[in-house]
Amino acid sequence: MVSFNRVILAGNLTRDPELRFTSDGVPVCSFGIAVNRVRSRNEEVDFFDVSAWRELGETIANYKKKGDPILIEGRLQYRTWEAQDGTKRSKVDIVADNVQFLGRGGDPGDGGTSSGGQARRGRRDDEVDINESDFDDIPF
């Protein structure tokens, strides 16, 4: 049996990220995102709850806020619980494995970031101009 559980979503945070800690001290960040439907004639939006654990969660909580654009890679997680009134509840959440902080459209100085790292627009420092004539003396 083949199984594959992978999700990639890009949208905007619907609320400020909330950072909490488990009883063992493991950080978990919870937030929501709104994703516009691409091929919808009406302007429809889907809303998703997301959780990010450990360093990834801390990074999101420290650098993102309501309204910020974000790309999320992760998996779906189905969970069930019993509500205070005794009814059984269930929900599908997204557990983030990786995120990219996206720049807002029209902000020329706002580059993307990946898991809190700094990304640069334009030429990267490790790019080198290559002149093919430099390879003429290579014996293969």
Cβ contact 73:98 at 8 Å: yes
pLDDT confidence of residue 136: 60
Residue 1 lies in a domain: no
Length of the chain: 140
- Residues 6+ away with beta carbon under 8 Å from 57: 17, 19, 27, 28, 29, 51
Residue 55 lies in a domain: yes
Helix (H) or strand (E) holding 10: strand 7-13
Helices (H), 4-108: 54-63
Q: Is residue 66 domain-resident? A: yes
Q: Is residue 25 part of a domain?
A: yes
Residue at 118 is within a domain: no
Any domain includes 78: yes
Q: What pLDDT, on a 0 to 100 scale, did the predictor assign at position 138?
A: 54
CA 123 to the chain's CA centroid: 24
Residue 122: the pLDDT is: 37
In a domain, 124, yes or no: no
**Alpha helix (H) ranges present in the chain?**
54-63
pTM: 0.70
Strands 113-114 and 7-13, by their bridges, are: unpaired
| Domain tally, the chain | 1
CA distance 140 to 135: 10
- Residue 62 CB neighbour total at 10 angstroms: 11
CATH code assigned at 66: 2.40.50.140
E strands along 25-108, which residues?
27-36, 45-53, 69-82, 88-101
Q: What pLDDT score does 98 carry?
A: 95
**What pLDDT, in 10s, does the model give residues 103-125?**
876 454 444 444 443 332 333 44
Domain that holds residue 61: 7-101
User: Would you write out the chain's pLDDT as a tens digit for each of its 140 residues?
Assistant: 899 999 999 999 999 999 999 999 999 999 999 999 877 678 889 999 999 999 999 999 999 999 999 999 999 999 999 999 999 999 999 999 999 999 876 454 444 444 443 332 333 444 555 555 555 655 54
Whole-angstrom distance, CA of residue 135 vs CA of residue 106: 42
